[in-house]
Structure 1
Amino acid sequence: MSSADLPADAPQGPTRPPASVSAAAFVSSLDRFAISPLLVLVAVDLGATLAESLTIASAYFLAYGLSQPVWGVLSDRFGRIRLMRATLFAAAAAGVVSALAPDLATLVIARSFAGAFFGAVVPASLTYVGDTVDEAHRQPALADLMAAIAVGTALATALAGMLGELAHWRWVFAVPAVLAIGCAIGLGRLYEPPREAQAGLVATVRSAVRNRWVLVVVGLAFVEGAVVLGVLTLLAPALQSQGIGAVGAGLATAAYGLAVVVTSRMVRPVSRHLPMPGLMAIGGVAAAAGYALLAVHVSIATVVVTALLLGVTWSFLHSSLQTWVTGVLPQARGTVVALFAGCLFAGSAVGASAGGAVADAQRWMALFAVTAAVALLLTGGVVVARRAYENRLLG
């Protein structure tokens, strides 16, 4: 939607996401990435193995991903802001149950619900940007939103390790619950943009899944989720397997969020001179290089460097995929973005689960070598696919 399509009383020509939307995405990210430095602590406290405690993360990611088609349809029918407010309140309740969980089974169930409800926030915020920001400004606006998400990521991994080790891991789940309530209240003052008339639930979903380019983009998102988010969850446990404490592991992996904050500022100027396939190539090669480094040696230094490179991946590759998906089928944007996010986090669940099985056997080098190879294949795939899409538009 262009600014000319908005009513007279609506914000005119926005080029950045509203602060309240960015805050909601920040809290969603804070909750999502807090688990990584806690996995070993939870395992020890609840008498579980690392593989068993990893089900907390994989169940969260899986619920996050599987819930996306539902949120996408509801977003298209009832509005982005209404959906975010309702799910933030529900996520807060799930967070409280997580903080009070007496055993691993209860914690896994509570985190699943938290993942499902927080899962509505980021895709709805992305769709809101797609609804209100002109296409010419959309990728920089999405990069701004990603910066807020990245701050949540950085604080999650850094503070979760400190809170978990110095206080208790339960506090890490309580903090996002409180913040979610504040965000839900703050969103109540935000303008809800008009949506295009919907053809009906079945017709909307059918139009999305029958579009070849929608399937291509969400398929690439699945692989990206496994490579970036899934294996990223294992960076802190990899350090802890070397005897590094939760605080050190959390601070090392926090470099990822800091890198996204910095490099997301670079997307706007670089995109003026480099087409989207070039941005994708930068991000994909960065991921492959980072994991290749870890395949040689795991230490605080190599994890920090890899986390920084994955931040580059998120800023350049993921923002490009996000921009692509918001424009591929505008009449079903909420549904398509939800499918995209669903595949991204389904992939992250698969990556965390498969990687956890390898990590439990202490085969860290093999895990990172395979991930580096998959990252290279992903890079080639996204560049070729995007060029084909652009050629189709020009032809």
Structure 2
Amino acid sequence: MVRGGFRMQRTNTSRLSAAQIHTVVTLGFCGLVSAADNWFVSPALPAIAQTLAVAPTAAMVILTAYMLPYGALQPVCGAIGDAVGRLRLLRVIVLGLCAGTLLCAVAPSLAVLVLARVVTGCFAAGIISVSQAFVGDAVGPECRAGAVGILMGITFTGQGLSAGLGGILTDLVGWRAAFAAFGALAFAAWLGLSTLREPALAPGAAAFGQAESPEAAEVPSSAPGSAAPGVPDAPSSAASAAPASSQPLQPVAPAANPVVAFFRNALDIFFGPRRAVFVLALATGILFLGTYGFMGTFLSEVCGLSSTAAGLLMMFYGVFCLVGGSLSGALGARRGLPGVIAIGEVSGIAAAVLLAVAAATSSWLPALGAAACLGLGYILVQPTLVTLSMEADPERVGLCTGLIGFGVFAGGGVGSMLGGTVLAAGGYLGLWLVVAALLLVQLIVSKRVL
């Protein structure tokens, strides 16, 4: 069934084999480490500033140093994975994440720490987008949405847990030891990749790619004597007779000018027939990640929580990311992918309303529910958009998922900027009400275009 140009795809994670589950969990752990490595730094900033003898406001540059390459390079890493092989690239970038994080642990000055965070962000950029494409290759279209949901649930559990554990770990052992610990986790993730193999096309995956290419479907099967006059019949071979599901993935052949080809392909995909998916990813980053970015200071300034208490409350975001990722497959099987996105957007609206109640009452209890709803909503929307994006160009799935990552994280940066303007004008109550209204608009639009 097709609606708005998109398949009303049903999903079923119960069909995942043990090997596929192992793949999802292994890559999910890689994503968890990369997300935790990013988000634990925020509660550690005061300690970092004190050790390096700089102002806390000056130390905030290390957040930007990581996030800029992390967001900008996701499509690039996705395209490289399409060309050279996803597992090969993952082994390089996870090891680079390990090295960059360990370099952060021994940085003697703010300048060196900023450089180390830039290096770490460059390597970490591709982990999520390439892992999403890898999982999509491994499980096939029917299980893709549920498997990607589990992958992202595990990944963003790291984001939520690190907000609380980062401050606690920094208080107990110091920020340098915390960086060293995350470096060790990255090394463990790299070792885990040695248990994986580049996947063959899962059953149904070839049909998924061919469904977007009607011309390919119209080509008749060759038979002796069917060639044009003067053209000899193609020789038969066991390889050509083998089913598509047994064929290993072949890297996309590089163009003569790869830089020009990359930008041309990226623009064709982003503004192509599936452009609604990528625009919704940008909106999701603005509203969901933008909201998440303001919650820590809101809990401290309005609800009166300490940094540790606020971090522990924010851990509910990570817990419900994991819950939502586990539920997304079953929800997709019952309601289709657009239905999963709608449920996530409703959950986001509930989070914004609860935050407005918390702002009006100065109570942290509604914010507890808001953190849970925000995590649940985000993990239902973002991975489902990733799954839909894979239909944009089945031959460049890594680039498609990378563009989703770019849209989400670029949107998060835009959301922080716009949110600050709204906050200055209307306070936290005004900010949360604006977020709720815009999420309602996104819900209405997504139901029309998906």
TM-score between both structures, scaled by the size of structure 2: 0.75
Report deviation, 1:141: 0.8
Report deviation, 1:174: 2.5
Report deviation, 1:270: 2.0
1:232 is matched with 292
1:313 is matched with 377
The answer as to 2:162 corresponding to 1:156 is yes
Larger Rg over CA atoms:
2
CA distance in 1, matches of 2:421, 2:47: 18
Q: 1:253 aligns with which of 303, 314, 327?
A: 314
What letter corresponds to residue 401 of structure 2 in structure 1? V
Report deviation, 1:114: 1.8
**After the TM superposition, which of the residue ranges 123-132 and 40-49 deviates more from structure 2?**
40-49
Q: Which consecutive unaligned segments of at least 5 residues does structure 1 have?
A: 1-10, 387-395
CA distance in 1, matches of 2:444, 2:92: 40
Residue 192 of structure 1: SS of its match in structure 2? Answer: coil
Cα distance change on mapping 1:171 and 1:383 into 2, 3 Å: farther
What letter corresponds to residue 276 of structure 2 in structure 1? V
Report deviation, 1:283: 0.7
C-alpha offsets along residues 61-111 of structure 1, whole Å, 9 cap, x if unaligned? 222111113212211111111111111122222212323344545434432
Equivalent positions of 1:1-395 (< 5 A) are 15-16=20-21, 18=23, 19-39=25-45, 41-42=47-48, 47-49=54-56, 52-193=58-199, 194-198=249-253, 200=255, 201=258, 202-203=260-261, 205-211=263-269, 212-242=272-302, 243-298=304-359, 299-355=363-419, 363-386=427-450
Cα distance change on mapping 1:143 and 1:78 into 2, 3 Å: same
* Count of aligned positions: 375
CA distance in 2, matches of 1:287, 1:175: 33
- Contact conserved, 1:164 with 1:246, CA < 8 A, in 2? no
What letter corresponds to residue 289 of structure 1 in structure 2? A
- Contact conserved, 2:356 with 2:432, CA < 8 A, in 1? yes
- Contact conserved, 2:348 with 2:373, CA < 8 A, in 1? yes
CA distance in 1, matches of 2:36, 2:21: 21
Report deviation, 1:121: 0.6
Cα distance change on mapping 1:375 and 1:330 into 2, 3 Å: same
C-alpha RMSD of the superposition = 2.8
**After the TM superposition, which of the residue ranges 68-77 and 222-231 deviates more from structure 2?**
222-231
The share of aligned pairs that are identical, in percent, is 30
TM-score between both structures, scaled by the size of structure 1: 0.85
- Contact conserved, 1:256 with 1:307, CA < 8 A, in 2? yes
- Contact conserved, 1:208 with 1:332, CA < 8 A, in 2? no
Report deviation, 1:356: 5.2
**After the TM superposition, which of the residue ranges 69-78 and 262-271 deviates more from structure 2?**
262-271
Q: Which consecutive unaligned segments of at least 5 residues does structure 2 have?
A: 1-15, 200-248
